[in-house]
Amino acid sequence: MRNFKKEAIYFFGFVVAALLLSASINSCTKDNTVLYAVNDTADYLENLRNYKKSNHQIMAGYFRTWRDKATDPATNKTSMKELPDSLDIAFVFPDYTPPTNVFWDSLKTSYVPHLRARGTKVVMTADIGATLDKSFPNTPAGYEALATKIISEKITAYNLDGIDFDVERSLNTEDLQRATGVFTALSKSLGPKSGTGKLLIYDTNQEGNTPLFTVVHALVDYVLVQSYGRSVSGLQNTFNSYAGKILPNQYLIGFSFYEENGANWGDVTSPLANSRAYKYSNWNPTQGKKAGVFSYAIDRDGVPYGQNQIVPTNYPVTRQLISLVNP
């Protein structure tokens, strides 16, 4: 990734600001009876893609599929197409969304092209259990076959940019062998060793010394640690458990927006500077600058704590945090 000179950064910021203002005033496109503020001019999109390629702290967000307007237009008020243009990675977090739901067609034909034109990567999230399918033999041939199935069903089917495995459990000896074998098979098509540009991501609430991560760490692009509710003072110790296996610029820490009847794991309050999300964004390990920050339930950005109804959002916190880590 190339570095912009300071003058180029200032100019880029001016151009994007001007184009965003122009887009909000002059350019709206109707999609499924909802107006989206859209700027599809060539210069604007090229500037965005160049920004995504630059050396910067990335912002990522897990979007819950069951809260997309395409999934339930009578209830939901936002969609993946309305995510901020400067978001680097949009995670498709699937649940309560049957294969026949119109969301999946919208993802492939509308959301992915829109986001990719802006340089945003779209990545499917899957539980680590997807690598433990016992209908496939616990052999190298079985690992290859299961990896092919995972890529076909979770990436190729929607023309996505990679996969993210959620690891929140301990694995017994057999499961560890299976998961390691499937990760190794996947790494031929995904991740830093593949040369394809497709992402292989590891997200977890665990430390970096677990048996699975110890053997697959060289196969992944990024590690996302679910730091929900953790004290900022403890973030360094957690990273220390990963140091030596990955670089700081492969490491993201994350908070969760307030879910319906859930906990306020990001402490996203007003002013934002008082929030855990803000403090996470400012934090870096002593070993170097982190890759960035991510949020869970980004579709709830802007919803006040204690408010359970589904409301429209302009992703105000996400936009502020992007500006914070990339002033």
User: In this predicted model, what pLDDT tens digit does every residue of 159-178 receive, in sequence order?
Assistant: 999 999 999 999 999 999 99
Mean pLDDT of 305-314: 90
- pLDDT range class, residue 327, cuts 50, 70, 90: confident
**How far, in Å, CA of 140 to CA of 122, rounded?**
29
Q: Do 126 and 194 have their domain in common? A: yes
82 is a catalytic site residue: no
Q: At a CB cut-off of 8 Å and minimum separation 6, what does 73 contact? A: 32
> What six digits make up the tokens of 83?
């995510």
The active-site residue out of 46, 82, 153, 168 is: 168
Contact in structure between 47 and 23 (CB atoms under 8 Å)? no
CA-to-CA distance for 103 and 309, rounded, in angstroms?
A: 21
Residue 221 vs residue 264, higher pLDDT:
221
Assess whether 106 and 40 both reside in one domain: no
Identity of the residue numbered 53? K
Residues 207, 269 within the same domain:
yes
pLDDT over 60 (residue 35)? no
Q: What is the mean pLDDT of residues 95-116?
A: 98
**Which structural domain, as residue segments, surrounds residue 124?**
56-325
**Average pLDDT for residues 186-204, to the nearest whole number?**
98
Place of tokens 């429209």: 312
CB-based contact 228:256 (threshold 8 Å): yes
Q: Amino acid identity of 145?
A: A
Query: Can you give the pLDDT at residue 38?
Result: 80
With cut-offs at 50, 70 and 90, classify the pLDDT of residue 270: confident
Q: Are residues 157 and 85 in the same domain?
A: yes
Chain mean pLDDT for the chain: 90
Q: Mean per-residue pLDDT for 301-318?
A: 91
> What is the average pLDDT across 204-224?
98
**pLDDT, mean of residues 16-36:** 37
pLDDT of residue 21 exceeding 50: no
Residues 42 and 11 in one domain: yes
Do residues 158 and 120 lie in contact, with contact meaning Cβ atoms separated by under 8 Å?
Answer: no
34 and 138 share a domain?
A: no
pLDDT value at 14 more than 50: no
159 and 269 assigned to the same domain: yes
79 lies in the same domain as 198: yes
Which pLDDT score is estimated for 30?
34
Q: Under the phi-then-psi rule, with left for phi > 0, alpha for psi from -120 to 50, and beta for the rest, what region is 105?
A: alpha
132-151 pLDDT tens trace: 999 999 999 999 999 999 99
Please give the tally of structural domains in the chain: 2
**Residue 44 and residue 136 in one domain:** no
| Whether 134 and 19 share a structural domain | no
| Residue 225 to residue 60: CA distance in whole angstroms | 12
Tell me what the mean pLDDT of segment 123-137 comes to.
98
The residue among 55, 75, 99 that closes a domain is 55
CATH number at residue 142: 3.20.20.80
- End position of a domain, from candidates 10, 40, 55: 55
Average of per-residue pLDDT across 282-310: 95
Point out the least confidently predicted range of 8-17, 67-76, 224-233. 8-17
Confidence band for 37, pLDDT divided at 50, 70 and 90? low
Q: Are residues 61 and 151 in the same domain?
A: yes
Residue 217's contacts (CB-CB under 8 Å, 6 or more residues apart) are 202, 208, 223, 242, 245, 246
Q: Are residues 16 and 40 in the same domain?
A: yes
Q: What pLDDT is stored for residue 18 in this prediction?
A: 37
